[in-house]
Amino acid sequence: MTRRVRRNDRTTGLTHWRKKRTGTKVDDCKVTRLKEPVQTGDLNTVVSVSGFDSVSDWRDAIVELHDGLDGCGLYAVGNPKMVDSFDELPLDF
């Protein structure tokens, strides 16, 4: 399971993931909105499962993609075969 920051929730629930934006389906996943709007303190809580080495690295990537955190939300992405619910995540928002 990982956490991502997105500008909108265009796809939540059961969906699939691809290696490239226009690539073919690799596997199923479940996307759940955790918090909106997201703030830097929220990133501190879940950076260990974000795929980034630090909050600073994660913020830099967000700025590159979205020009900052304004209007972004925090989402959980996981394999639906392994994750029934994200409600039990230890999130401290």
Q: With a cut of 70, say whether residue 67 has pLDDT above it.
A: yes
Spatial separation of the C-alpha atoms in residues 31 and 2, rounded to whole Å: 10
**Residue with structure tokens 């020009």?**
67
Q: Report the pLDDT value the prediction gives residue 54, as an integer from 0 to 100.
A: 93
Domain definitions of the chain by residue range: 2-78
Band (pLDDT 50/70/90 cuts) for residue 93 is: very low
Spatial separation of the C-alpha atoms in residues 58 and 60, rounded to whole Å: 5
